[in-house]
Structure 1
Amino acid sequence: MKPNKLKAIVCGATFGQFYLASLKILQDHFEVVGLLSRGSDRSKKCAKQYGVPLLTSIKEIPDTVDLACVVLRSGVMGGEGTKLSLTLLEKGIHVLQEHPVHHKDLAACLRAAQKNKVLFRTGDLYIHLPEVRRFITCCRSLSKQQKPIYIEAAYASQVSYPLLHILSEALTTTRPWSLDQVSKTKGPFQVLTGVIGGVPLILRVHNEVNPNDPDNHLHLLHRITIGFEGGSLSLTDTHGPVVWNPRMHVPEDVGTMKELSEAEASFLTANSVEILGKHTPLSYREILTKQWPAAIGVDLLEIKEGIVTGTKFQTKSQNELLISKQWQDITNMLGYPSMVPNSVHQPLSVSTILEAGEEKSQAELLYER
């Protein structure tokens, strides 16, 4: 059995910083013994900030390492992440690799893990974010009462794997699965149609990338709406809020406006929009420095539990393979993202629209009379 406090390394200093921040939060569970990187200025600053040794070669990895967090682009994304994961697994080190991973590479890593009696898991912080969890919980609750009848989702292609992960947990099943049409028109979005878990699916995908800054310039992360006979449940953004919109219905037996105003039907007195849970808007600084590291911590604690208890996570592994295959299906149908190398960051302060947002329409003024 492994000791209670595991020795861990982080591979990659870009997104790896979020893993280092998470491991710092969980310092009672993990001891970070190295940052594996090529020795860039960023990695040197990162290693210094977290007080960990900077490793520039696999040979420098201590023999005592229990867990490696591989936070590099996988093979399918043109990086060395999968190759490194396989090397670490062969050395008898447990691996948590950041998504996405091609389903064939994922299968190879799972085989290597089984052969060397270690664990391999993919990491996905988005599935653990508070508002995403709220959306999943609410969808499961609604599904016990009514079946979903449609799904609409808008997202950036860079986060398509997490989208499928969210749907896999929100729905009772993701089979049957099929994609039947893609619409490629002018503009930043492409539209895919298909079926997931027997439910009609429409995907609106921002399929562009700035080759000089591929992690930025996304028009959105995730917006998902699942419709039921009684209304629609929406994750308005990856960080919330989650909104319930009851379906509008005018009773057939109501003949006059007076009867409508006095009708006692409960669905007429329900709010037309309900924000579910106690949603508190957060700044992007709070999201990136606090919420994301905390979400990564869930994956870290889960794989630690598996290491300590010997849990194999076979069901989770099968689900990861299915999600990866579905992600590959979407990627193949969409094709390569359009290149937009001239994208620049042009922030807008909310103060510029606050006054406009307070301006009352003519209908509001009449309503208030």
Structure 2
Amino acid sequence: MQRKKVIVCGSTFGQFYIHALQSMPERFELVGLYGKGSERSKKCADTYGIPLITDFDQIPQVDIACVVISSGTIGGIGTDLAIRFMDKGVNVIQEQPIHLKDVSLCFRAAKRNNVYYKVCDLYPKLSEVSRFIRIANELNKKELPLYIKGAFCPQVSYPAIDILSHALPSIFSFVVDSVADAVGPFDILTGKLDDIPIMLEYNNQVFPEDRDNYEHLLHNFAFVYESGRLILEDTFGPVLWKPRMHIPKSLYNPENQKNMPAYVLENTIEPLGNYNPKHFDQALFGDWRQGIADNILELESMIDNHVDLAPFAQRQIQVSKKWNELTSAFSFAKIIHPDGHHYIPSNDIKKFSGESV
């Protein structure tokens, strides 16, 4: 198989794309980093041993462009750059979030130029999120959720909608009922998906000087079923199953307590999968790198197998539309000015619990 030539655009989150591509040298040739020529870009190019290209017209012919530059949604040139690549016959994978108008423009550009365009859905590819989605899909065949609860921050609100779109039969009917502008760090949204009530806690705060930090969480979801609760505790896990407690009246008779039904013998909570806690660096440079690698491999497969792009476009447009409705309902994030990162070692927390360390 001939290696595909790839350019990465953007030296901030783009570094994770560089890590991912350099982990697959047998499939991809990373020809360079495209950027403005900042000191960070220069250091990245030197560190990863790749050319730094600052003039678009000097980019060599490539098969795939990874556009990891802010889209027009937040004042960046990412969408314009993606379309410019596709007009040159280059397939594009673009980092989210992307406004509905921009997504539509990009898919039209892909169709016009007979190339492939993909929005990177990193988070649904992460191992624990993927596990949550897989289990939810199987549970949904048996019974639909009675109630959905979620919590996330603006920085990952787009993938939050993406996760829900994978874990539920459809999000097309999702509507917002009300939003409570909370005094604390979370705003509260209530809505419905058909007849399923939804409550979302939105950590609607941003520190302008460091937009990637100071959120209180990434993702947390709980699907409440008739039989129990399926919980994604955090983006990096674990996934938990909490069976609904039921005490049969017959057990109040002492003679019956030796013959308990199977459901009474279930654990009160069940971690699903072989979950092992990870350091943050393992999650970032392991899970994120692999999730991005899986996305690039998916784009490669789409190109090689000449798949129909229309279903992917329809789903992504739906995700972008619902994300736009959600963020419009929450309105602008509140500006915060934290006094630095507060850190309490986990071993101290263990001591508080009486656990020896």
Letter aligned with residue 71 of structure 1: V
Aligned CA distance change for structure 1 residues 260 and 314 (closer, same or farther; 3 Å): farther
Q: How does 1:277-356 map to 2 (within 5 A)?
A: 277-356=273-352
- Check conservation: 1:174, 1:198, Cα contact below 8 A: no
* Structure 2 counterpart of 1:363: none
C-alpha distance after superposition, 1:20-77 (max 9, x if no partner): 0000111111101110111111111111121111011211111x21110000111011
Q: Which stretches in structure 1 are left out of the alignment for 5+ residues?
A: 361-369
Aligned CA distance change for structure 1 residues 193 and 95 (closer, same or farther; 3 Å): same
**CA displacement at 1:312 relative to structure 2:** 3.0
* Structure 1 counterpart of 2:6: 8
Matched, 1:190 2:160: no
- Check conservation: 1:119, 1:312, Cα contact below 8 A: no
**CA displacement at 1:343 relative to structure 2:** 4.7
Q: Matches of 2:58 and 2:47 in 1, distance apart? A: 20
Aligned CA distance change for structure 1 residues 272 and 16 (closer, same or farther; 3 Å): same
Matched, 1:131 2:117: no
Matched, 1:224 2:226: no
- Check conservation: 2:21, 2:30, Cα contact below 8 A: yes
- 276-285 vs 309-318, greater mean Cα deviation: 309-318
Letter aligned with residue 175 of structure 1: F
Q: How does 1:1-369 map to 2 (within 5 A)?
A: 4-62=2-60, 64-196=61-193, 198-256=195-253, 258=254, 261-358=257-354
* Structure 2 counterpart of 1:366: none
Q: Matches of 1:192 and 1:226 in 2, distance apart? A: 16
Give the TM-score taking structure 2 as reference length.
Answer: 0.96
Letter aligned with residue 63 of structure 2: D
- Check conservation: 1:156, 1:220, Cα contact below 8 A: yes
Give the root-mean-square deviation of aligned CA atoms: 1.5
Give the TM-score taking structure 1 as reference length.
Answer: 0.93
Q: Matches of 1:148 and 1:293 in 2, distance apart? A: 32
Q: Which stretches in structure 2 are left out of the alignment for 5+ residues?
A: none
Q: Matches of 1:317 and 1:28 in 2, distance apart? A: 29
**CA displacement at 1:315 relative to structure 2:** 1.1
- Check conservation: 2:172, 2:318, Cα contact below 8 A: no
Give the count of matched residue pairs: 356
C-alpha distance after superposition, 1:107-149 (max 9, x if no partner): 0111011111111110021110000111011111111221211
- Check conservation: 2:229, 2:243, Cα contact below 8 A: yes
**What is the DSSP-based 3-state SS (H/G/I as helix, E as strand, rest coil) of the residue aligned with 1:101?**
coil
Q: Matches of 2:104 and 2:2 in 1, distance apart? A: 29
